[in-house]
Structure 1
Amino acid sequence: MHKLFLIISSLSGAIAVALGAFGAHALKDKLQSEGTLDTYQTAVQYQFYHTLALLGIAFLLTKYQSQWLHYAGYSMTFGILIFSGSLYILCFTGMKWLGAITPIGGLLFILGWVFLLMTAVKTL
Structure 2
Amino acid sequence: MPLFPATSALAWKAGALLSGSGIMAGAFGAHALAPRLGEKTATWSMASQYAFINGVALLAISQHPVYAKRWSGPLIIAGTTLFSGSIFALLLFRERMGGFAKVVGPTTPIGGLLMISGYLSLLL
With structure 1 as the length reference, what TM-score do the two structures score? Answer: 0.82
Aligned letter for 2:50?
Answer: Y
Provide, for residues 26-50 of structure 1, a one-character-per-residue CA deviation record: whole Å limited to 9, x for no partner.
Answer: 1111111xx3212111111111121
Work out the percentage of aligned pairs sharing the same amino acid.
36
Measured in 2, the distance between the counterparts of 1:31 and 1:56 equals: 33
Contact 1:8 1:77 in 2 (8 A): yes
**Structure 1 segments unaligned to the other structure (5+ residues):** 119-124
Q: 1:69 Cα deviation (Å)? A: 5.4
Measured in 2, the distance between the counterparts of 1:20 and 1:38 equals: 10
Q: 2:117 matched to which residue of 1?
A: 111
SS at the partner of 1:81?
helix
Q: 1:70 Cα deviation (Å)? A: 2.3
**Structure 2 segments unaligned to the other structure (5+ residues):** 1-6
Aligned letter for 1:15?
Answer: S
SS at the partner of 1:26?
helix
Q: 1:72 matched to which residue of 2?
A: 72
Aligned letter for 1:92?
Answer: L
Does residue 83 in structure 1 map to residue 89 in structure 2? Answer: no
Contact 1:69 1:116 in 2 (8 A): no
Counterparts in 2 of 1:1-124, with a 5 A limit?
1-32=7-38, 35-61=39-65, 65=66, 70-94=70-94, 97=102, 98-118=104-124
With structure 2 as the length reference, what TM-score do the two structures score? Answer: 0.82
What is the Cα-based RMSD across aligned positions, in Å?
Answer: 1.6
Measured in 1, the distance between the counterparts of 2:12 and 2:74 equals: 12
Q: Figure out how many residues of one structure are paired with residues of the other and give that number.
A: 112
SS at the partner of 2:32?
coil
Aligned letter for 1:8?
Answer: A
